[in-house]
């Protein structure tokens, strides 16, 4: 007898209960968000905090998937230095940081996520890690998550059939676009995380892309926490608990239909813990003096700084190509950043070079 598998008949409809614990954690996050957004931080300190957060996010998210590089090694790789490690592990780190930079730009566009966005992001993540036919393409084969217990392969989770990928993703993106207006954005972010990783639409890289898509949604809805926010660190600190919270069933049909309240409780509590950590870092970096003469950094400034931090030392023409800022505008911004003590300038004329000032305080 033929077997027919149908996972979507109508718009996605998640099952969960908003508990008093979840409500309390959301209220605390909102209180901290206001305080963080209104804190005054010296630009030199905020640059350092954002740079450390990008390194920590890269190390945590790749580490969850088994990448063994330490935070120090990740920092060296992202600074363009050579380390003794597997080329695959180095590539995973480089790709993740590029994808992280990409989502920061994408999140400035308020339009809803599309399948094209997802495929583009996957192609960035898996460049030189998967064959080109699998990078940036939904899987065409079954997928199983397997644990080895007592020398035997035990299937922990079986994803949905490959021919349902496009339908499942489109259905969920439709729900995300049309049916979330009455839900708190933090809950929607948690649902996105749960459902997307449950669909497991790619042959590899599902966890990493899920965490990045969750960040895009949070950033788009005003929960960027000055880009010092690293929810991946909470999952990485206890990966067993992370996977237990996500894994409500051993196959997609039951996972899709399960009550996700336990996962949302874990997810929201994790955000609360991470945001509290951000608040403490911001408090230590804050200042209470007069704002007169203190440089305020724009997102364009941060893109310039991030590029220079990534390449180490660079010249004006290279920065122009990377960040797409007119040369005259860029030169003015670079001069301001040098005067503020954020960048160092060496040389003169066409040979002038810029690098990030070594400031870890």
In order of 5, 7, 140, 142, the CA distances from 163 in angstroms are: 10, 11, 7, 9
Q: Which two tokens stand for residue 343?
A: 């960048």
Binding-site residue numbers are 204-211, 242-243
Residue 122 bears catalytic tag: no
Binding-site residue set for ATP: 204-211, 242-243
Q: Give the span between the Cα atoms of 307 and 97, in whole angstroms.
A: 11
Q: What is the DSSP string of 237-256?
A: HTHHHHHHHH-S-SBHHHHH
Other Cβ atoms within 10 Å of 21 Cβ, number: 13
The two structure tokens encoding residue 66: 């088994």
> Which residue out of 200, 221, 254, 256 is catalytically annotated?
200
- CA proximity to 277, closest of 51, 73, 53, 101: 53
HSE-CB at 267 with a 13 A cutoff on CA atoms is 25
CA distance 126 to 204: 8
Closest CA to 208 of 131, 146, 107, 124: 124
Encoding tokens for residue 35?
Answer: 């305080």
Instruction: Give Cα separations from 298 to 99, 100, 268, 313, 321 (angstroms).
Output: 21, 18, 30, 21, 19
Q: Which residues form the catalytic set?
A: 200
């Amino acid at each position: 007898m033929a077997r027919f598998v149908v996972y979507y008949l109508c718009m996605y409809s998640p099952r969960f209960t908003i508990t008093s614990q979840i409500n309390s954690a959301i209220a605390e996050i909102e209180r901290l968000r206001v305080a963080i957004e209104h804190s005054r931080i010296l630009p030199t300190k905020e640059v350092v905090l954002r740079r450390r957060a990008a390194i920590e996010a890269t190390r945590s998210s790749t580490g969850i998937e088994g990448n063994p590089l330490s935070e120090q090694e990740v920092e060296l790789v992202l600074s363009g230095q050579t380390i003794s490690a597997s080329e695959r592990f180095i590539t995973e780190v480089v790709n993740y940081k590029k994808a992280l930079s990409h989502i920061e730009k994408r999140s400035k566009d308020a339009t809803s996520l599309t399948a094209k966005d997802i495929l583009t992001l996957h192609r960035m993540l898996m460049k030189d890690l998967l064959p080109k036919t699998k990078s940036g393409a939904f899987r065409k084969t079954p997928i199983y998550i397997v644990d080895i217990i007592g020398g035997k392969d035990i299937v922990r989770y079986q994803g949905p059939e490959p021919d349902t990928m496009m339908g499942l993703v489109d259905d969920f993106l439709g729900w995300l676009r049309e049916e979330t207006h009455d839900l708190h954005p933090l809950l929607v972010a948690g649902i996105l995380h749960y459902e997307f990783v449950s669909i497991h639409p790619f042959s590899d890289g599902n966890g990493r892309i899920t965490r990045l898509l969750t960040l895009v949604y949070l950033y788009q809805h005003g929960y960027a926490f000055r880009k010092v926010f690293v929810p991946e660190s909470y999952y990485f600190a206890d990966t067993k608990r992370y996977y237990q919270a996500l894994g409500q069933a051993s196959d997609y049909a039951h996972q899709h239909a399960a009550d996700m309240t336990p996962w949302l409780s874990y997810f929201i509590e994790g955000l609360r813990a991470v945001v509290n950590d951000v608040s403490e870092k911001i408090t230590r970096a804050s200042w209470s003096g007069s704002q007169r003469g203190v440089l305020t950094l724009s997102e364009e400034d941060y893109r310039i700084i991030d590029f220079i931090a990534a390449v180490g030392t660079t010249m004006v023409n290279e920065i122009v190509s990377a960040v797409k800022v007119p040369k005259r505008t860029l030169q003015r911004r670079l001069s301001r950043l040098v005067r503020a003590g954020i960048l160092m300038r060496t040389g003169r004329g066409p040979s002038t070079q810029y690098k990030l000032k070594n400031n870890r305080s």
